Amino acid sequence: MRADSVVILDFETTGLSPDQGDRAIEIGAVRLINGEVKDQFQALMDPGFRVSSFIESYTGISNQMLSQAESCKQVMNEFADYIGDDNLIAHNASFDSRFLNAELMRIGRQTVGNFSCSLLLSRRIFQDADSHKLGELIRYANIPSSGGFHRALYDAQMTSQLWLALLNDIAVRYDLHDLSFAQIQKICKTPKGAIDKLLNKWAQI
DNA sequence: TGCCAGGCCCTCTTTAGGGCCTT
């Protein structure tokens, strides 16, 4: 595993729960190596049934578009190859990890890397943000955006820029650079009120 | 026919409830 290589991913899906029969309909991802976007992955996938009008409207992904897409099995096999053994990041990772695991389980594959969450990290680092929705955080961090949210690749690209902004904020405020993935996961599990103490302690080491 | 999740986090908490976030 390349310690400095992470894949930031985002799923569009037919609903909120794979346990209730919901499936992935699009995957988007970018790979960061040493803090720079090096490559990307995007694919629509046909879940095998019609998606609701709500999902068509919410994502802009129509049933007609999905009818011409490859199957979930084909796409997820390609995506599993793309991920390799890299660590993974998503905004509200508990959601995307559930769909990733469910789709990979269907084809007898699984991930190797660890997952981290830009939502949890932003709640600790951008504590003053009015909202921790992805779009609101992009505005809060003054990240340039065309506003085209709710497509997988675009959301993954925005999440990668948010992730870099969070790491940059930690570097500037605490003079902490090159945090390990394990350290970032530790931050995500630390109560908000204890973040200053933790990061100042690390900065002194 | 009708209904539909789950993890995190705060607080008027911990023998619980409700808001936030994801599609």
Answer whether residue A62 shows pLDDT above 70.
Answer: yes
Question: Strands A5-13 and A87-90: what pairing?
Answer: parallel
pLDDT at A149: 84
- Report pLDDT digits (tens) over A4-40: 899 999 999 999 999 999 999 999 999 999 999 999 9
To which H or E segment does residue A89 belong? strand A87-90
- Per-residue pLDDT tens over the stretch A136-146: 999 999 999 98
Instruction: Determine whether the distance from the CB of A34 to the nearest atom of strand B is below 7 Å.
Output: no
Nucleotide nearest to A134 (CA to C1'): B21
Q: Gap from A15 CA to B3 C1', in Å?
A: 14
Which residue is closest, via its CA, to the C1' of B7? A94
Which strands form A5-13's sheet, in the order they lie side by side?
A: A70-71, A36-46, A24-33, A5-13, A87-90, A115-117
The values of phi and psi at residue A121, to 5°, are: -65, -40
Q: Measuring from the CA of residue A159 to each C1' atom, give the nucleotide at the shortest distance.
A: B22
Q: Which domains does chain A have, with CATH numbers?
A: 6-203 (3.30.420.10)
Residue A2 pLDDT exceeds 80? no
- pTM for the model stands at 0.93
Average pLDDT, chain A: 95
Mean pLDDT of all residues in A91-115: 96
- Comparing CA positions, the residue from A61, A62, A86, A74 lying closest to residue A9 is A86
Average pLDDT, integer, range A142-170:
94
Asked if pLDDT for residue A59 goes beyond 60, the answer is yes
Residue A139 contacts strand B, CB under 7 A: no
Show the 3-state SS of A8-52.
EEEEEECCCCHHHCCCEEEEEEEEEECCEEEEEEEEEEECCCCCC
Strand A70-71 and strand A87-90: the pairing is unpaired
Q: What is the pLDDT of residue A3?
A: 60
Q: Using the CB atom, is residue A163 less than 7 Å from strand B? A: no
**Beta carbon of A55 within 7 Å of strand B?**
yes
In the predicted structure, residue A102 carries a pLDDT above the cut 80: yes
Integer Rg of chain A from CA = 17
Tell me the pairing of strands A70-71 and A36-46.
Answer: parallel
Q: Which nucleotides of B are covered by protein (CB under 7 A)?
A: 4-10, 20-23
**pLDDT tens for residues A164-205?**
999 999 999 999 998 999 999 999 999 999 999 999 999 987
- Could you identify the residue whose CA is nearest to the C1' atom of nucleotide B20? A132
| Shortest CA to C1' contact from A149: nucleotide | B23
